[in-house]
Structure 1
Amino acid sequence: MTAGLDTPDRRGRTGLDQHGRDLDGNPHVRIQEVEVLSCDWYVLRKTTFDYQHSDGHISSEQRETYDRGDGATILLHNTDHRTVLLTRQFRLPAYVNGHPDGMLLETAAGLLDGDSPHEAIRREAAEETGHVIGTPEHVFDVYMSPGSVTERLHFYAAPYDPADNPAGRTGIAAEGEDITTVELPFADALDMVRNGLIADAKTIMLLQWAALDGPFRQAGPLARRS
């Protein structure tokens, strides 16, 4: 009996080796085998599949996929003050891969954990920044690392009131979160992207969206045409 397959793992899951076996949307792909390599909290799988190439020949391929669930992120902005509200927290994977101290500036974000993207991002905004937002604006949905990670991230934006900016640290201490909020002039945030002080992909994408097509866009050749 194997946890996560025929008996529940510590998150109560079974049948984790069945993921993807019933996919039929691409006639050039046929799933042959799914092996669960790890299911301690998230799920690492090795999938073997047949792939028909454009010249007609079929090859057997293997890929590892890391399944941590889908997530959502949000850019909090204030157009009157021309500011954005970001978070700063320690990220071990960045630290062990060359970031000087692992303390990344980011837009608030988190996993859906069974909620809809809209509900999840309102929860995460409150937990990580202390701000209770109204209806967020949906921006786009993106596969952040499609070569190995299954996660699809839902992007949002919403205004915030700087007068309500909480002092001290935010996040859920029981989950090891130790988060501070950082309010920045929008122009400074863009400069920090240029000089590498903001190095988080989702944050860069939302800041660039805000400049090109969002609350801080300027009239000109790149402005959205209605």
Structure 2
Amino acid sequence: MTDPIDPTRPGQPGVDIPDARGRTGLDRTGRELTGNPRVRVKDVRLLSSNWHVFRANTLEYQRADGVWETQHRETYDRGNGATILLYSLEKRTVLLTRQFRYPAYVNGHADGNLIETAAGLLDDDDDPLTAIRREAREETGHEIGEVSPVFEAYMSPGSVTEKLFFFAAPYSPDTRMDAGGGLADEGEEIELLEIDIDEALGRIGVDIIDAKTIMLLQWAALSGPFRRVPGA
């Protein structure tokens, strides 16, 4: 993270001069919002825009009793993302990944290696479907065919702006194009795991503790490809 930005000084990266990604006006986000008449955004201060964007926001919020109160909220904008559950009905398996996640490691995870569904952030001009096809290929080596949208969800709405788009798609030996494993020049070293769906469900809360992965596994069992049909 870069040093906090002082809004009283001219020439602030991300404000009135381009930051490392060529962006300006990042202190304007939120000021134009009018969708909720009980919210008035009064000030947006850019704290950092090293890559993702960290803001301090001041707003007025009207309580149910009509009283307006001033609130201060910090938001972390890392863009939106997409994730996908790759599954095989024939084998009753799912294809997951395992990789090192420093934020989990620094917050008490024993070794920081998390089991997850393939996922990634949307690039600037990406739509979610384009992004997840790219991420699936990079991480798993599978060139997926038909993709089913599942749902959308805000993963940590108390402070992180990200919305995650969830997908599912079948995989097979025919969709395998290469070894996958992620992009080495982006610091990725991804291990592929093919796991029986019942085993994966049983490992939720044990060593499958990533939220998006848990959500997709439970969807797959409750209403997705592995749902139990009454009477079947």
Residues 84-123 of structure 1: pairs in structure 2 closer than 5 A? 84-113=94-123, 114-123=125-134
Gaps of 5+ in 2: 1-10
Q: How many residues align?
A: 220
Q: Is the 8 A contact 1:129 1:166 kept in 2?
A: no
1:172 to 174, 177, 183: 183
Whether contact under 8 Å (2:144, 2:175) holds in the other structure is no
Post-superposition offset of 1:169: 5.7
TM-score by length of 2: 0.92
Give SS of 1:16's match: coil
Q: Any residues of structure 2 matched to 1:138-177 within 5 Å, and which?
A: 138-162=149-173, 165=176, 170-177=181-188
CA deviation string 1:18-37 (max 9, x = no partner): 00100000000000000011
Give structure 1 stretches of 5+ with no counterpart.
Answer: 222-226
* 2:134 partner SS: helix
CA distance in 2 between counterparts of 1:99 and 1:167 reads 31
Q: Output the amino acid matched with 2:25.
A: G
Contact 2:137 2:180 in 1 (8 A): no
Please tell me whether residue 207 in structure 1 is matched to residue 217 in structure 2: yes
175, 198, 201: which one aligns with 1:190 = 201
SS in 2 for 1:122: helix
Shift of 1:87: 0.5
What is the CA-CA distance between 1:180 and the residue it aligns to? 1.1
Corresponding residue for residue 11 of structure 1: 21
Distance 1:4 1:106 in 2: 33
The match for 1:32 among 38, 42, 48 is 42
Partner of 1:43: 53
CA RMSD, 1 decimal: 1.4
